[in-house]
Structure 1
């Protein structure tokens, strides 16, 4: 760990530099994604379109709705593509406060954080989104026809997409808690009921206010919590075994 204490202004300047790099990467990726906005939009909203059926297209009820929805779509796709840059800059910001043995986890942190975000978003997109949109489309009847707008459907899809991506970062947090010794694996497992509570709180906060999506996010989060606790404890024991024995006084 770097024992040199930097003034607050230096920390703020470094934070600003990292934010600038993240925003530049995001903007560059978003500009590239804008060229493929319609293809990305169609792929992202495929679960909703499948639930509605081929004879029920999405509606645009405002003059600017199509443009701004496509713009948000490009921003979302750009954010997803720039997540490795985001995680790398997060690590680079906190790295000066870490021990030398901890700094070697820069690449694994970036790789696993990116893969977990992508895995969570893919899990939600492939397995959960169809269930949610089928659930909501099932309320149509002879008295009410579905006329979903592209803005509302894209907004719901975005919230779910980000929720599952961010939620799947939970094992990274739990891993570092266990690996750093803040809490042992035994303590984390013994407090698994609190982990379950955290999973459902995250499910309630990150997803729309319906029980189905909350449960579908909370269940895998709890499993990932347990995996992170066990993996962090295993790493802590491995590192402890690698340390040379202390000399007796």
Structure 2
């Protein structure tokens, strides 16, 4: 093999090594995420039945005396708490998951992006949890009170535990994602996709979109739709406010070179 070929092979190996190292690091980060979920699941699962009772309390308190929830599938008493424990494990492990993602992408960020990215990640976790808490403490009592009150007289309400779990998880996810609107707004401004002035000018369309999303993601009643749409609108306004600060930060950081 000639010296030229040896030199080309060495240069090729040097170009491939960083990619291999990145893939190995990504694999290690993913393994740590999975391990965090497994550890959380192992800690939560022994209390799965008690947690399900706590989760179903907003509905069970509104059922008439003598009525309770039922399991229409023979495997539901096992799989419903199991599914709840797994979802809760992911929820609890979200800070660790985001930290691993942050550790993977941080070396390639600009200095001003690093200053903003970590607070955004931290805030996104708090907002997601706040959305789920808002659904549990505010939305569920109102929604379940509405549904249990409008049923035809003489109809016995016996909610299925699997159907109830699917419903509340959907609501948790909907409100958790909806509460991320300020983060999405700031990210759109930081990436240059829009400006705070443009977003403020589109406010009427955003309000309509909030109510449409509320209609699609919640049960077909005006209470739950409004309880999702109004917070989304308010959070959008907060996103514009914080986006103005982020916009000024981005303008001041224009021309900054990436860190070595």
Q: 1:68 is paired with a residue of what secondary structure?
A: helix
- CA drift of 1:163 comes to 1.3
The one of 49, 65, 69 equivalent to 1:38 is 49
* 1:129 match: 140
Name the stretch that deviates more: 120-129 or 235-244: 235-244
Q: 2:165 and 2:71 mapped to 1: Cα distance? A: 12
- Give the TM-score normalised by the residue count of structure 2: 0.80
- CA drift of 1:238 comes to 4.8
Q: Establish whether residue 78 from structure 1 lines up as the match of residue 89 from structure 2.
A: yes
Q: Establish whether residue 219 from structure 1 lines up as the match of residue 230 from structure 2.
A: yes
* 1:103 match: 114
The structure whose Rg is larger is 2
- Structure 1 residues 17-53: Cα deviation after superposition (integer angstroms, max 9, x where no partner): 4443332222221221111112211211111112214
Structure 2: gaps spanning 5 or more residues: 1-14, 256-260
Q: 1:222 and 1:73 mapped to 2: Cα distance? A: 30
* 2:129 match: 118
* 2:246 match: 235
Q: 1:115 and 1:216 mapped to 2: Cα distance? A: 19
- Give the TM-score normalised by the residue count of structure 1: 0.83
CA separation of 1:241 and 1:98: change in aligned 2, threshold 3 A: closer
Q: 1:84 is paired with a residue of what secondary structure?
A: helix
* 2:258 match: none
How does 1:1-249 map onto structure 2 within 5 Å?
16-238=27-249, 240=251
Q: 1:186 and 1:126 mapped to 2: Cα distance? A: 35
Q: 1:171 and 1:157 mapped to 2: Cα distance? A: 24
Q: 2:17 and 2:207 mapped to 1: Cα distance? A: 39
Question: More helix by proportion, 1 or 2?
Answer: 2
Task: Report the aligned-residue RMSD.
Answer: 2.9
Q: 1:170 and 1:10 mapped to 2: Cα distance? A: 35
Structure 1: gaps spanning 5 or more residues: 245-249
Name the stretch that deviates more: 87-96 or 115-124: 87-96
Name the stretch that deviates more: 207-216 or 99-108: 207-216
- State the aligned residue count: 241
